[in-house]
Structure 1
Amino acid sequence: MKKFLLVIGLLLFIIPGVVLAQQKATVVGRDIGELKNIRISGRLIDQISGEPLVGATVTIRELNKTEVTNTNGSFFLVLDRAEYTLEFRYVGYETIIYPIIAVGEGRISLTMIQEDFTLDDVVIFGRDPEKNLRSTEMGAISINMNTLKELPPFLGEVDIIRSIATLPGVSQVGEASSGLNVRGGGADQNLIMFAGAPIYNPSHLFGLFTAFNPDVVNDFTLYKAIIPTRYGGRGSSILDITPKSGSLDTWGGDMMAGSVSGKLSINGPVVKDKISAKVGFRGSYINWLLNSLNNPELRTSQANFNDVNGILYGEINENHNITYSFYRSYDDFALASDTTISWTNLSHSIRYNGKLSEKFFVDAIGFYTFYDFSIFNRSGINNFDLKSGIEDVGARLNFTYNLGDRNKLFFGADTKNITINPGELIPGTNENGEMSVLPQLVQPEFARESGVYFQHDFEIGEKLGFSYGLRYDSYQYFGPRTVRSYAPNLPINSANVIGERTYADGEVIQSYDGFGPRASFRYSINSKTSIKGGYNKMYQFIHLISNTATIAPTDVWKLSDEFIRPQIVDQYSLGLYKNFKGNIFETSFEVYYKDIQNVVDYKDGARLLLQNNLETEIIPGVGQAYGVEMYVKKNLGRLTGWLSYTYSRALRRVLTPFEEEIINDGNWFPANFDKPHDLTLIGNYKLASNVSLSGTFFYSTGRPVSFPEAKFDFAGNSLAFFRDRNLQRIPDFHRLDLSLNFQLKGKGKFYEGDWTFAVMNVYGRKNPFSIFFADQAGSPPQAYRLAILGVPLPTLSYSLKF
């Protein structure tokens, strides 16, 4: 019997290989005698949903050449008349081997089916598996949503921002934080774009959830080292999120119900093979959980959020397409009080992709984005509304010209107008019909950012690859606005005002510009090992005015003016990259150093809210950051995952001619988010073909805080005395999350789909998010820790495709 089973097993193993070897090649194109430069286009879609597969790789084995599908799932090849073997790969999908005979211009349309994980030894790569070795890009990390779904969910669903924080060089300050700190940069130094439109607050519930629905996201790329010249405006990183367009063939959708939130998305053809639509909605129902708690403060609290996405895709022909994207998110939160905080993100974008010739491509984007927050107080005593917002309107035009297979030229331009309403206090009336506070309006700000760029990527043989480029950024800050003048050689404060000037609407108040060179190289030691290095210069004309360590909805954005200069960041990077055992293991080792000019810091006791003259509360500083990043990833087998470790420092220095403005005696001190050691370990183990266990372990050094050294009495109040900033640290952070996923197929029964059971903070670590101080008689103020998540938190979610 054993011999019989062995024979059957060998036949099952050998026969598919024989069939593949004998598979007849498909003749592509009409034979009209073409011998060279035969143009072949194609498209890849999901076999079930019909959605385009963006970022799939198409490899021509005979030429050792790989192309990547665009936002429509399309690819383009230029071949000579011959026989070829095409290999199609996409994360989470079965690989397709497709022999062809190219005889003339033609088109290939293929469907790919998701891998059911019945085999243990299949490697699925989302992009070229050797791209990390052969590309001149440094610090560019792309993640497909199918890969993201293998990570333990946070409160029932996968999270884009938190997944990025598991990568080397990227961190967050705590469990309820929405911002990212990338290579020693502040949270405001990251440009986050959804469908080409900037998003200013990417969070729900103060950072407990990311404000992007994973079901409408196709993939995202983080640039943290050598940033392509087509991007500008931020000092540390660019996070470019690409939405998923709907199917041109069939209608379908996704649904998820979790412990605290749920989501639904549907998509399908509006005009078959021409126009598709995709709509996604996500909302929370966390209030039932709050209302069931014993704590009276939490029981009277409320927390709500929702977001809506809409994507309309139109295919003019195989060479031209247009995509319209709509996005809106909303939050409101009230913690046992009469004060409610709410914030909204809103964006529209329209994108045109065109192939003007076999070598010339265009990508054009127009966008509008709006962010605002409000604080409403309805206590009956001091009723008021406090509002603030920021608005962007802009466009980008990008061109690509293929000089050859390994020789590309990129160039283009972008511009946007920025309007900031820093704050408006609208008084309400009390029970007697009287205003309890005075109205206040902070002057709005207006500016324009523009840039032009070019970039040249090319290779010299198999060993050397180069990328160099230049970006020119220009910035104008203009009226209407009334600007103070201050006495020279004295600190900028209200006591030293000597006059003011009023600028008319559109009149330029201050201008800045600068050239940002960027260059990188790649040297291949062998086919599995390469060295890369590069230099990057970035300008940032907008600043986040906040004295907290993480992004909060009440933070105010401030434009550069004649007192606050733009941040300038110079970064140097060097890395070693090596793959092992047929790309089963990917490893990298990178070092970097940054110089940061014109860092915004704050005077002691600074008042930042509703401040018409922020220059009196702010002092300029400089920064430096350096670090070492190590990354090991396993792609093959039952156990997959990665290990990332970063040693880094983020330091600041404030040294001015005025003694009262100097911080820490002019010495270097840690930034609020400085965490020298940061370790993440992620694993996914396939227990069976439809069952997987995932785990994530985090460890990091506690972030800096300032402890009071003494206290003193002033006007009858006991006040804390602080000597230096950020010279103490909260306890180290560590946490373990686990999840168990079941893929059940019930042929239409209610339990068909994916069930995910997850436990956050498995061993109940009380990680401190912040430290606060309480007065104690006869001693300095005593420190207490605030933990956001101090107990194990189980969640259950159910999702399906239909």
Structure 2
Amino acid sequence: MKKLLFTFLAFIILQGLAAQDQPKRSVIGRDIGQLKNIRITGRIIDEITGDALIGATVSIPEIDQTKITDNNGEFEFILDRAEYTLEFRYVGYESITYPIVAVGDGRISIRMIQEDFELEDVVIFGRDPEKNIRSTDMGAITMSMNTIRELPPFLGEVDIIRSMATLPGVSQVGEAAAGLNVRGGGADQNLIQFAGAPIYNPTHLFGLFTSFNADIVNDVTLYKSVIPPKFGGRGSSILDILPKAGSIDSWGGDLMLSNYSGKIGINGPLVKDKVSIRGGFRGSYINWFLNSLSNPDLKNSQANFYDGNLVISAPISEEQEFTYSYYTSYDDFAFASDTTISWKNNSHSFSWKGRFGEKVGVQALGYLTQYDYSIFNRSGINDFDLNSGIVDYGAKVFATYSLSPTNTITIGGDFKDLTVQPGELVPNNQQESGILPQKVQDEYGREMGAHFQHEFELGEKFGMSYGVRYDLFQYFGPRTVRQYAENQPISDGSAIGETTYGDGEKIISYDGFGPRASIRYSLSKYSSIKAGYNKMYQFIHLISNTATIAPTDIWKLSDEFLKPQIVDQYSLGFYNNFKGNIFETSIEVYYKDIQNVVEYKDGANLILQNHVETELVPAQGRAYGVELYVKKNLGRLTGWVSYTYSRSLRQVITAFEEEIINDGDWFASNFDKPHDVTLIGNYKVSTNTSISTTFGYSTGRPVTFPEAKFDYAGNNLAYFNRRNEQRLPDFHRLDLAVNFKLKGQGRFFEDGDWTFSVLNVYGRKNPFSLFFVDEAGAPPQALRLAVLGVPLPSLSYSIKF
């Protein structure tokens, strides 16, 4: 009897202790006796900044359901009346367990706070560990700033563009190269937008730095396969960069100093709990670095750059939010002290997000972007200014209607007006100078689009997203357009007349439907197969005889002679996660058909060319490849390996023999690099110390070498035969960085980071470009120019306050 009584008392005590440890369950909804189809919605935000946490994971283990928050941080479940445990997870934030009793429709607001580093539980890349398996997205990769900061910094700074180039199918033509090449496309085939506004030159110092301050960026999403119909205007990819809002309840800031540049930022409430502001400024002091280079021209050069951001956010309620974003950047580079090249970006964007009831969400955005680029020559009597620019303004609106948590329809439309100033030459002293003023005709165009998308799931196995985008482009006057004789190549000699169009008069228009679809079939909880198709139209072209974006390149609208680029892409992928999502793997194959690619006649003259059609030839393109990806998410050692085998080819066949390139055979594009390997590793030595490394290898890009030289009118001229049949030496480079985190003990400084990095650890002289030297009795000799030919150390210190 005593034993039985003791057992009973022990049971009561243990139950009491268990009850003390059991979290109290929150009752959700008004109890009206509802038993099924209880709708529980919610929003997840950052505890400090109030930012919506996009892509956070919300799980209910009792029914094995998981949802991912949308672009407004929202989620939704349809439940039966019962007790549940909601589990909230987001990379870099403390997890939250929230027990509830669902008795009726209701809403939850969750605030998550960033966590300190835990040695055995860090995700370096991605948010939801199973999103790559469950979603219908193909080629859509979101990298948070926490992920990007794990990579070795470039010259002391986190570099957003270069971080994207570590992903499969994404590359750059070489060191100090501006822009990205995505799945065989040119740098102009990528739409890079910041807060919804397009940015035309996202680089500092010809590509050595990215012109986006990482402290102002919330996250970055790259779409490279099946692009959502709400995006248009480019043929290869969309890089969508979202700014970070400031805190609505307290002031803070950050400061970073390195041996190349420095930046400062501040954020806080303009109106407490209602309106926040975040500002940032970054500037360079890099001339000492240029003076250390071996190239004599670069050694005697000077460079300056800066960029600034301002973000004002007003989350006036859980249903509505207004955001204004301003971005500016400026560069000038004085080459050998007499010629200065400068470029400048300015963009304004204003967005509104709102929800109407539980099913409808609406977003509207307007923007204005200006891009100016100039060359100033101050060598003496023939001083001149050469100015060009783009003005791009537009608006977008789209609405999302949720038929159910797994069935969503999105519709919308957008327009933009474009003014392109290809070039204007202004002599500094017209009376004494031998240079005459000259201006290329401005161009005017308008793009309009309407789009529809439907995403749904049928059970656990099958998911689909399909949609269509209609694009319309109109090319306007004022403009004088040449006519050329039939049955002759387009050239100055075949011009037979001109037609003049008045202000606002339509010259030509193009339109087309771009269907997009992707299908997902889940083989298991941890593996799936996806297939997709994507069609894109591009109405603006980069006219350049270089392999990468340069400030002197010409942006050109489609007209009667230069048709829009049309890209059809087919994709197929297999995705598999292992060991509880610790390892993530994928293999994707793709094929692209590209119509109306821009190619150039031999010896094309593109500067101040009023009739650039005389220098171009019509071409077709195709690209194909396979992408392998392995990523380790957890543990001391994290990182990923990506390998891409790809080809990017061009073909030029016309009715005129003198325009045909390489006898009509397919030839490699300027950015064709068949093999591309990237290895990323991050090792956590301790809670406060980490080592990160990046190794990259790729095939050298194609070039054309002169095969001989000949004398013409007393001048030695080089002879070029077949285009892009030689290659630069293969590229490879190792970068290393060590990061020390310091926890602040005082009232002012919260924490600080020391980062020591070395670029090009073993001093590989990767060629940036080639130039040719004439030697007597021999063909012109090719010499390489290496920008980073030696190990380049950097040291930076950053603090938060």
Q: TM-score, normalised by structure 1?
A: 0.94
| Deviation at residue 249 of structure 1 after TM alignment | 1.4
1:608 corresponds, among 603, 606, 609, to 606
Partner of 2:253: 253
Matched, 1:360 2:360: yes
Say whether the 8 Å CA contact 1:89–1:125 is kept in structure 2: no
Q: 1:30 to 1:255 in 2, by over 3 A?
A: farther
DSSP-derived class of the 2:146 partner: helix
Contact 1:54 / 1:71 at 8 angstroms: preserved in 2?
yes
Size of the alignment, in residue pairs? 784
User: Contact (CA 8 Å) 1:530, 1:578: kept in 2 or not?
Assistant: yes
Aligned residue number for residue 369 of structure 2: 369
Instruction: Verify the 8 A CA contact 2:77 2:405 in the aligned structure 1.
Output: no
Map 1:198-597 onto structure 2 (within 5 A): 198-290=198-290, 297-298=297-298, 300-429=300-429, 434-597=432-595
Deviation at 1:294, TM superposition (A): 8.6
Q: C-alpha distance in 2, partners of 1:334/1:55?
A: 44
The one-letter code of the counterpart of 1:699 is Y
The amino acid of 1:615's aligned partner reads E
CA contact (8 A) 1:291 1:300 kept: yes
Q: Any conservation in 1 of the 2:86–2:98 contact (CA below 8 Å)? A: yes
The answer for the alignment partner of 1:743 in structure 2 is 741
Q: Distance in 1 between matches of 2:125 and 2:623?
A: 33
Q: Secondary structure at the match of 1:317?
A: coil
**What is the Cα deviation at residue 550 of structure 1?**
0.5
Contact in 2 for aligned 1:56/1:126 (Cα 8 Å): no
- AA partner of residue 389 (structure 1): G
Deviation digits for residues 156-175 of structure 1 (CA, Å, limit 9, x no counterpart) = 01111000000000000011
CA displacement at 1:59 relative to structure 2: 2.8
3-state SS, counterpart of residue 660 of structure 1: helix
State how far apart, in whole Å, the 2-side matches of 1:125 and 1:28 are: 34
Structure 1 Cα separation of the partners of residues 551 and 294 of structure 2: 28
Structure 1 residue 141: Cα displacement:
0.5
Q: For residues 138 and 72 of structure 1, what CA distance do their matches in structure 2 show? A: 21
Do the aligned residues in 1 keep the contact of 2:574 with 2:588 (CA within 8 Å)?
A: yes
Query: Structure 1 CA distance, aligned partners of 2:556 and 2:125?
Result: 42
Task: Rate the CA distance shift 1:742–1:49 in 2: closer, same or farther, 3 A.
Answer: farther
Is the counterpart of residue 708 in structure 1 residue 706 in structure 2?
Answer: yes
Classify 1:142/1:293 alpha carbon distance in 2 versus 1 (closer, same or farther; 3 Å): closer
Distance 1:21 1:458 in 2: 40
5 Å-filtered alignment, 1:581-730, equals 581-730=579-728
1:206 is aligned with what amino acid? Answer: F
Q: Which runs of 5+ in 2 are unaligned?
A: 1-16
Using the alignment, how far apart are the partners of 2:179 and 2:538 within structure 1? 17
CA distance in 2, matches of 1:671, 1:293: 31
Aligned equivalents of 2:235 and 2:721: distance in 1?
Answer: 31
Give matches, 1:81-92, under 5 Å. 81-92=81-92
CA deviation vs aligned residue, 1:679-707 (integer Å, no higher than 9, x gap): 00000000001110000000000000001
Residue aligned with 2:316, SS? strand
Shift of 1:123: 4.8
Residue 170 to residue 104, structure 1, CA distance change in 2 (3 Å): same
1:716-795 aligned at under 5 Å gives the runs 716-748=714-746, 752-795=751-794
Counterpart amino acid of residue 539 in structure 2: F
When residues 587 and 323 of structure 1 are mapped into structure 2, their CA distance, relative to the original with a 3 A threshold, is same
CA distance in 2: counterparts of 1:67 and 1:720, whole angstroms:
63
Q: 1:403 to 1:690 in 2, by over 3 A?
A: same
| Alpha carbons of structure 1 residues 762 and 55: separation in structure 2 relative to 1, 3 Å | same
After superposition, the C-alpha distances for 1:454-486 in whole angstroms (9 at most, x for unaligned) are 111111111111111111111110101000000
Does the 8 Å CA contact 1:66/1:128 hold for their aligned counterparts? no
The residue that corresponds to 1:9 in the other structure is none
- In structure 2, the CA distance between the partners of 1:40 and 1:319, relative to structure 1 (3 Å rule), is farther
Partners of 2:18 and 2:413 lie apart in 1 by 53
Q: SS of the residue aligned with 1:689?
A: coil
Deviation at 1:67, TM superposition (A): 4.0
Q: Distance in 2 between matches of 1:523 and 1:54?
A: 24
- Which residue of structure 1 aligns with residue 22 of structure 2? 22
Tell me the secondary structure at the aligned position of residue 779 of structure 2. Answer: strand
Change in Cα spacing, 1:773 to 1:19, as seen in structure 2 (3 Å) is: farther
Residues 310, 327 of structure 1: 8 Å contact kept: yes
Q: Partner of 1:768: helix, strand, or coil?
A: coil
Task: Letter of the 2:552 partner, please give it.
Answer: T
In structure 2, do the counterparts of structure 1 residues 322 and 206 end up closer, same or farther at CA, with 3 Å as the change threshold?
Answer: same
Distance 1:252 1:151, change over 3 A: same
1:52/1:247 contact within 8 Å kept: no
> How much does 1:745 deviate?
1.4
Cα deviation code 1:334-375 (max 9, x no counterpart): 122211111011111111111112111111111111111011
Aligned mates of 1:572, 1:120 — CA distance in 2: 40
Q: Secondary structure at the match of 1:382?
A: coil
Alpha-carbon distance change, 295 to 780 in structure 1, aligned in 2, over 3 angstroms: closer
Equivalent residues in 2 for 1:52-201 (5 A)? 52-69=52-69, 73=73, 75=75, 79-104=79-104, 107-121=107-121, 123=123, 126-201=126-201
State the distance in 2 between where 1:294 and 1:222 align. Answer: 37
- 1:316 Cα deviation from its structure 2 partner: 2.5
Instruction: Provide closer, same or farther for how the CA distance between residues 19 and 380 of structure 1 changes in structure 2, counting only shifts above 3 A.
Output: farther
What does the per-residue CA deviation read over 1:512-560, in whole Å, with 9 as the maximum and x for residues that have no partner? Answer: 1111111111111111111101111111111000010000011110000
**How far is the alpha carbon of 1:300 from its aligned partner?**
3.7
The CA distance in 2 between the partners of 1:178 and 1:292, in whole Å, is 22
- The residue type equivalent to 1:567 in the other structure is Q
Equivalent residue letter for 2:175: E
Instruction: Write out the 4+ residue segments of structure 1 that deviate beyond 6 Å after TM superposition.
Output: 17-21, 292-296
The CA RMSD measured in Å over matched residues stands at 2.1
* Higher mean displacement: 335-344 or 162-171: 335-344
TM-score where L is the length of structure 2: 0.95
Rounded Cα–Cα distance in structure 2 between residues aligned with 1:179 and 1:198: 13
- Are the structure 2 counterparts of residues 22 and 712 from structure 1 closer, same or farther at C-alpha, using a change threshold of 3 Å? same
| Aligned counterpart, 1:800 | 799
* Distance (Å, rounded) in 2 between the aligned partners of 1:119 and 1:757: 21
Q: Separation in 2 of the partners of 1:405 and 1:273?
A: 30
Q: Is the 8 A contact 1:94 1:124 kept in 2?
A: no
The one-letter amino acid of 2:797's match is Y
Judge which range, 59-68 or 421-430, deviates more.
59-68
Q: Deviations over 1:228-264 (max 9, x none)?
A: 1111111111111111111111111122111101111
Secondary structure at 2:133 match in 1: helix
Q: 1:765 aligns to what SS in structure 2?
A: coil
Separation in 1 of the partners of 2:331 and 2:580?
47
